[in-house]
Amino acid sequence: MQGDDNGTMAFDQSAITSLLQVCSSFGHMRMAREVHYCALKTFFMLYALLLNATITVYSRCGDVTLSLGLKLPYGRDKKKIISSTALLACYAPNGLAQDVLMFFRAMLQRGLGSRVFCITSVLRACSTTSNLAVGLQIHSRAMKLGIGDASSVENALVTLYANCLSVRVALKI
């Protein structure tokens, strides 16, 4: 933040990101919207860090529809993958498991990679819907990517197999 000659404060994207994180921690949706609108008025576009914080705060406050309205960058660079993964993770805790699966499919079609956090979110969605067929595909993908032994992936796999009544497989993991 920097002041100007008029005594007002100019916010940079880091300051607004911090404000959004505070809103997220306390679940203040109204304040989060005000901060988001301030960011939109101040900056032409939201950079990855601010975009991800905005997605997270809306998700934690239970308003996925606002997250859906955010303009995600297209392409294949790391920041775009992280923003897409943040949006993907926003669906699951808000009861939109089918949307997780559809969005993940769209991510793969756009050539976006499958990071540990992304795979974990998709496995959680499969366990919520007891979709063992898709869960097996995601498990296979995790093994091929070499992330099948990451603790978050293993925990999601245990939950998936237990919810799908494959207790022996869950115990093996």
pLDDT tens digit string along 85-122? 777 777 777 778 888 888 888 888 888 767 788 899 89
Beta bridge partners of residue 10, listed in sequence order: 2
The answer on pLDDT for 82 being more than 80 is no
Residue 2 is predicted with a pLDDT of 46
**Greater model confidence, 137 or 86:** 137
Query: Using an 8 Å Cβ cutoff, are 86 and 93 in contact?
Result: no
Q: What is the C-alpha separation between 2 and 152, in angstroms, rounded?
A: 40
The model's pTM is 0.66
Residue 111 exposed, middle or buried by CB count within 10 Å (0-12, 13-18, 19+): exposed
DSSP 73: P
b/e for 133-150, b at 16 or more Cβ within 10 A?
ebbbebbebbeeeebbeb
